Amino acid sequence: GPLYGAPEDSTDFNPILDPKNHTKTAIKVSPRDPDTPKGVFIASGNFTAGPSPYWGAEPYWSSQSSVHNQMFDQDGRVWMTARIRKPETPAFCREGSDHPSAKLTPMTRAPRSAAVYDPKTKEMKLIDLCFTTHHLIFAEDSNNTLWFSGGGRNAGPVGWLNTKKFLETGDAAASQGWTEIVLDINGN
């Protein structure tokens, strides 16, 4: 059978290939908020939409979670970027918050956050981030810091998640940070 469900669900699934048993399955990543908008993630950007030569003008992929860029950590958990809510950020991300990153760069919108799946416990945790995500990569540090880029020229700040702290506490707000990218071109 097909790896995914219906075409409109295709990026709501995290594919799993078991090379030992020659099987393929998938885990659906569902957003926390059932009113999370559907659509291809990049459709919210300034990309020109055109008809497909194969599928016509009807959108083929229209998911809520828009799972992307899965990475394994040192313990076999799978970390990914995913939409988990509407784009509006929680209060701790915004102006007036005591969060150190919000004091410097308050964030009102972040369309895609993150999730982590533990194949041992079969548990999916959704991680509410203040900055939008596209790609992720682990630093090689004692906190297993996960760095995120927003993707595209208007993506906003880069962000990070102290995965060690998040896994110990479950506190996404206290485990994350973000900053604008500043290029010091005059050395001051």
CA 178/CA 97 separation, integer angstroms: 14
Q: How far is CA 171 from CA 95, 147, 176, 180, in A?
A: 20, 17, 9, 23
Of 68, 13, 62, 67, the closest CA to residue 37 belongs to 62
Q: pLDDT value at position 62?
A: 66
Tens place of pLDDT for every residue, the chain, 188 residues?
Answer: 344 444 444 577 888 888 899 998 888 888 898 888 876 554 454 445 677 787 777 766 667 888 888 999 999 999 999 999 999 999 999 999 999 999 999 999 998 999 999 999 999 999 999 999 989 999 999 999 999 988 766 678 999 999 999 999 999 999 999 998 878 889 88
The answer to whether 172 and 127 are in contact (CB under 8 A) is: yes
CA 69/CA 82 separation, integer angstroms: 9
The type of residue at 168 is E
Q: pLDDT value at position 60?
A: 61
Around Cβ 59, how many Cβ atoms within 10 Å?
A: 15
CA 127/CA 116 separation, integer angstroms: 8
